[in-house]
């Protein structure tokens, strides 16, 4: 589906702040993959997502989508087939607009024309879809999103993204800003949607047990490199202890401060 | 007197709708307005002098304003200039353009010529009392424009424009280029402003390059007064109505200043000061209102 070939990302080249955020990564995301990505702060997880989504253009290397070169394709164009959810639950929805308006805007990707698509048929469809969230939102379709909680908004963003049928979804620690109960709900929904719609997806998480529990493939990143890539049965047999051991083995380094961040 | 206030309020109300679109819907503070208002007036007057069909002249003014707004959006989008500065650039350039359009003159009267307003007055003279003809005409014009804007913002494109003012990332995530949306939105806004200028020129009987000075402040004050009137609403129909009502109230305040200001030794030259102070007072009141809400919320939550 998506392929990264020798991709590097160098920020502020030639200055004292020069920073090699990604160093020569090769990655092939296969159709139907559900990849979890772990790594400490500064390991390059978010930069990797920014490169895939098109927020930044790599200093070197090429990015392919279905064998088409998309290295220089702007973010808004890639968004037509790549869905992304951010850590900040406010980034996926418009606060000053009603729920039904939000759903209408996100229902179809691409330029919007002078057409009024929001009719009673669409409303019925949205209502039926909202029931899946089990949050009672189907009865609040005329309310502004500013009235909804972060968890509700993140769940909505997820549903709205799934309805637009993207080929790849990027989940950038999308439950990290929520309280534990809501985080659990949103994570469960994520897993449910990914299985139900067989979505190709990548998920960054700081929670090692989540990384092990979910998905069929796991990437561990450190200092801009993918140091560990495991899938299938090998992934299923992983435990938090084994993962930490693996890190020591590869890096010959102790976790130190990172231990807190990679907490099980 | 009261008709005068209402007519002025309605004419400038069209401009206020434009300002409302950029400042409130798009969250794009656009200062092109000070140039596109006299641009509309200049284009209208020149068309009248050239005997162009008057309705076509209105369209010319609207398109002229739209192009001016698009220039601002293009400067902002492609040269990565902050939107305020992009607006000031276009506004400054328009000053020269407007003088050119007026044939190298700063002020051109059209009092002797036929305008849409004289036509309308003749047509309905005898049917409706003379003093109410223009008032009724502008009520109809304002309502038609308001309804068109309301309809626009309920289309898919209009809703996406609204979403961009709220959350640009969301629009990008939907596969829409925010640059294109800004160009459309700022263009539409300035088209309305120029249309308002075209009507103002016919009402005043002349076009003047200085006509637009401080228009943005008037527009903003009107928008704020309108917002102060009504509780927060997410219905575009309510918001546009508030903008027009705000404009009428604002002109009532100006009228009082102009005709009764002498009591406190105020001259017409002090009006711009009054406009500014009015905005500051409105800002203070709005903040107080917000603080009060927060305080009430805090008490309720306890």
pLDDT tens per residue across span B201-253: 999 999 999 998 889 999 999 999 998 887 667 788 899 999 999 999 999 98
Show residues of chain A in contact with B167, CB under 8 Å.
90-91, 93-95
The domain spans of chain B are 2-212
Its ipTM equals 0.83
Backbone angles phi, psi at A86, to 5 degrees: -95, 170
- CA B19 vs. chain centroid, Å, equals 5
- CATH number of the domain within which A80 lies: 3.40.50.300
- CA B47 vs. chain centroid, Å, equals 21
Give CA–CA dist B251/B196, Å, rounded: 15
Q: Which residues contact A263 (CB under 8 A, 6 or more apart)?
A: A206, A207, A208
Tokens describing residue B171: 């629009």
Tell me which chain A residue has its CA closest to the CA of residue B154.
A116
Of B157, B169, B177, the CB nearest to A91: B169
Asked if B11 contacts B3 with a C-beta cutoff of 8 angstroms, the reply is no
Q: What is the pLDDT of residues B155-184, one digit of tens each?
A: 999 999 999 988 899 999 988 999 999 999
For an interface test with A, the pick among B155, B175, B184 (most A C-beta atoms closer than 10 Å) comes out as: B175
Print the domain residue range for A28: 2-261
pLDDT in tens, chain A (264 residues): 889 999 989 998 888 888 888 888 899 999 989 999 998 888 888 999 999 999 999 999 999 998 899 998 999 999 999 999 999 988 989 888 889 989 988 888 878 788 888 888 889 888 888 988 888 888 888 888 888 988 899 999 999 999 888 999 999 988 888 888 888 889 999 999 998 888 999 999 988 888 888 889 999 888 888 888 888 888 888 888 888 888 887 776 555 545 544 544
Report the pLDDT value the prediction gives residue B184, as an integer from 0 to 100.
95
Show residues of chain B in contact with A93, CB under 8 Å.
167, 170
Tokens describing residue A109: 């990707």
Q: Do B176 and A144 touch (CB under 8 A)?
A: no
What total of structural domains would you count in chain A? 1
Give CA–CA dist A208/A218, Å, rounded: 10
Asked if B139 contacts B10 with a C-beta cutoff of 8 angstroms, the reply is yes
Tell me which chain A residue has its CA closest to the CA of residue B171.
A76
The mean pLDDT of chain B is 90
- CA B65 vs. chain centroid, Å, equals 11
Strand extents, DSSP E, chain A: 2-11, 19-29, 34-39, 60-65, 68-69, 82-85, 168-172, 200-204, 217-222, 225-231
Of A77, A91, A92, the CB nearest to B175: A77
Report the pLDDT value the prediction gives residue B300, as an integer from 0 to 100.
59
Give CA–CA dist B128/B46, Å, rounded: 30
Tell me which chain B residue has its CA closest to the CA of residue A112.
B157
C-alpha separations of B246 from A5, B67, B188, B190, B231 in Å: 58, 27, 20, 19, 14
Show residues of chain B in contact with A117, CB under 8 Å.
156
Q: Strand A168-172 and strand A200-204: pairing?
A: parallel
């Amino acid at each position: 589906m998506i392929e990264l070939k020798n991709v590097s990302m160098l920020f502020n080249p030639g200055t004292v702040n020069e920073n090699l955020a990604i160093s020569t990564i090769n990655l092939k995301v296969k159709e139907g993959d559900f990849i979890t990505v772990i790594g400490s702060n500064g390991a390059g997880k978010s930069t990797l997502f920014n490169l895939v989504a098109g927020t930044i253009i790599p200093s070197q290397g090429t990015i392919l989508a279905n064998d088409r070169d998309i290295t220089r394709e702007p973010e808004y164009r890639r968004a037509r087939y790549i869905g992304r959810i951010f850590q900040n639950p406010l980034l996926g929805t418009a606060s000053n607009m009603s729920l039904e308006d939000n759903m209408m805007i996100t229902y179809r990707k691409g330029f919007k024309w002078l057409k009024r698509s929001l009719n009673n048929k669409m409303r019925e469809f949205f209502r039926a879809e909202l029931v899946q969230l089990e949050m009672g939102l189907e009865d609040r379709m005329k309310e502004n999103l500013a009235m909804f909680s972060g968890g509700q908004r993140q769940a909505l963003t997820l549903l709205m993204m799934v309805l637009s049928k993207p080929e790849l979804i990027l989940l950038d620690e999308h439950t990290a800003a929520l309280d534990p109960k809501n985080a659990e709900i949103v994570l469960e929904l994520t897993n449910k949607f990914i299985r139900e719609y067989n979505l190709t997806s990548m998920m960054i998480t700081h929670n090692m047990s989540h990384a092990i529990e979910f998905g069929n493939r796991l990437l561990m990143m450190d200092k801009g490199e993918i140091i560990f890539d495991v899938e299938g049965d090998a992934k299923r047999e992983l435990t938090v202890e084994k993962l930490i051991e693996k890190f020591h083995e590869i890096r010959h380094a102790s976790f130190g401060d990172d231990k807190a961040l990679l907490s099980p | 007197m009261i008709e005068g206030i209402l007519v002025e309020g309605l004419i400038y109300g069209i401009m206020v709708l434009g300002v409302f679109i950029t400042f409130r819907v798009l969250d794009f503070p656009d200062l092109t307005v000070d140039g596109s208002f006299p641009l509309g007036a200049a284009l209208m007057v020149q068309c009248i002098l050239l005997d162009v069909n008057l309705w076509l002249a209105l369209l010319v003014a609207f398109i002229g304003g739209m192009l001016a707004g698009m220039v601002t959006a293009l400067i902002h989008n492609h040269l990565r200039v902050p939107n305020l500065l992009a607006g000031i650039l276009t506004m400054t350039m328009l000053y020269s353009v407007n003088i050119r359009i007026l044939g190298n003159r700063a002020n051109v009267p059209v009092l002797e010529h036929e305008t849409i307003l004289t036509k309308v007055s003749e047509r309905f003279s005898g049917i409706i009392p003379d003093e109410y003809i223009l008032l009724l005409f502008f009520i109809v014009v304002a309502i038609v424009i308001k309804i068109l804007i309301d309809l626009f913002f309920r289309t898919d494109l209009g809703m996406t424009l609204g979403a961009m003012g709220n959350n640009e990332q969301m629009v990008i995530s939907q596969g829409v280029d925010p640059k294109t949306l800004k160009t459309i939105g700022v263009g539409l806004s300035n088209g309305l402003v120029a249309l308002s200028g075209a009507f103002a020129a016919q009402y005043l009987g002349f076009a003047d390059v200085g006509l637009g000075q401080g228009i943005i402040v008037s527009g903003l004050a009107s928008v704020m007064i309108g917002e102060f009137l009504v509780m927060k609403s997410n219905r575009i129909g309510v918001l546009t109505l508030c903008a027009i009502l705000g404009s009428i109230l604002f002109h009532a305040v100006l009228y009082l200043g102009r005709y009764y200001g002498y009591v406190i030794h105020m001259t017409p030259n002090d009006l711009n000061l009054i406009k500014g102070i009015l905005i500051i007072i409105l800002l203070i009141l709005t903040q107080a209102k917000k603080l009060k809400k927060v305080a009430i919320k805090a008490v309720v939550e306890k």
